[in-house]
Structure 1
Amino acid sequence: MTGDHYFSPQPGTADLRSPIEFSAAGRDYTLTTAAGVFSAGRLDPGTAVLLRKAQLPASADPGPFLDLGCGYGPITCVLADQAPAASVYAVDVNARARELTALNAARLGVADRVCVRAPDDVPEAVRFTQLWSNPPIRVGKAELHALLARWLPRLASDGVGWLVVARYLGGDSVQRWLVDQGWQVARHASQQGYRVLRVTR
């Protein structure tokens, strides 16, 4: 173990880049990924389930949306592509992930609507109509709860959060914890061992 994780602010692994291909919402995407970011070798199965089963935004939805823990940007790119009027905040602690998301957004032609930020660089006044996340379960329960407690309150009053969590990594306990915090949580879908949760006020 090197201590270098996808949630490290500055990955120490070599920045070896490669293309990654996936399909979402009837479109094929080719993005660039690299070592030292989340699921560098393929589209993470949980992210794939989230994009397949959650309700993607309507084309006229203005946002802003939040992709929390954006990695190299697959969710950000799909959201920006699906909703051409919307702005998308792509947030990650990992500097390499942010660089790749900006690169992928530019290649997709949506960079003018994608705001790539470190968590502390998101303006406090911004409220999001949608929050999307495949949250970093492996950071530990306390850190995960702190992450969700920080960002879910940034939803607009009528906003919706879409989360995907593997059942074996505590998907059901995350749902119970959110309910205990006062959120309305519906298990929107289950597939391949993942729970897609719809979170509202």
Structure 2
Amino acid sequence: MADHYFSAEPTSDDVRRTVGCQIWGKPYAFTTSTGVFSRDRLDRGTSILLREVPAPTTGGTYLDLGTGYGPIACALAVEDPKAQVWAVDVNNRALELTAENAKTAGVGDRVHPRLVDDVPAEVRFDQIWSNPAIHIGKPELHKMLLHWLARLAPGGVGWFVVGKNLGADSLQRWLTDQGYPCQRTASAKGFRVLRVTATDEAPAPS
């Protein structure tokens, strides 16, 4: 049976390669491998998220939910030298790659790759960034999002990118119904960028 990128322990050979990309105007060379999400390139959804949402620069504690090999986590830490970034995934190979890529980017001391249950319960997040794993199924997706959104700090913000054909619009409505006001801030190439807030605060000017 083929590995899924959301397998805890990929059984495929660990065949590594380097993927180059630009995030917020800076060049990166990330190490990727088989058994992790989008091993051959920075995936389109993540690219759109990072293009449409400005980098945070004011410091804080950020969560990269479903980090993969860590492009979002590394870029957040590079752009915001005062930030602490927790990079969460269920895939141990992905977490190993995130640690390696963070070290290469010079932010290994501020990027914390962890399994879901290894993030201390007291940690609260000023921002959550994610290209969520829609393919885990709606019940597990909803459970995951509610778990982490409950850990937003007061006034915290979540940034999500979701394919329109994968239910972005219905997810937007569902999040609002759960008490997390959700606005669409951008649409591009079949993807929606969603801004989720912990309160009924108005969206920040773009």
Band of TM-score, shorter chain: over 0.9
Distance in 1 (CA, whole Å) between partners of 2:60 and 2:71 is: 17
Length, aligned pairs only: 198
Distance in 2 (CA, whole Å) between partners of 1:194 and 1:121 is: 31
Answering whether residue 180 of structure 2 is matched by residue 183 of structure 1, we say: yes
Distance in 2 (CA, whole Å) between partners of 1:56 and 1:145 is: 26
Aligned to 1:141: 138
Distance in 2 (CA, whole Å) between partners of 1:19 and 1:109 is: 17
1:188 partner SS: strand
- 1:3 to partner: Cα distance: 4.6
Aligned to 1:163: 160
1:148 partner SS: helix
Aligned to 1:70: 67
Answering whether residue 38 of structure 2 is matched by residue 39 of structure 1, we say: yes
Aligned to 1:107: 104
Answering whether residue 15 of structure 2 is matched by residue 9 of structure 1, we say: no
Amino-acid identity (%): 56
Structure 1 runs of 4+ off > 2 angstroms? none
Aligned to 1:80: 77
Aligned to 2:49: 50
Calculate the TM-score normalised by the size of structure 1: 0.97
What is the RMSD of the two structures over their aligned residues, measured on CA atoms? Answer: 0.7
The one-letter amino acid paired with 2:15 is: L
The one-letter amino acid paired with 1:52 is: R
Aligned residue runs from structure 1 range 83-102, under 5 A: 83-102=80-99
- 1:62 to partner: Cα distance: 2.2
Distance in 2 (CA, whole Å) between partners of 1:105 and 1:86 is: 13
Specify every segment of 5 or more residues in structure 2 that has no aligned partner in the other structure, as ranges: 199-206
Distance in 2 (CA, whole Å) between partners of 1:7 and 1:177 is: 23
Aligned to 1:199: 196
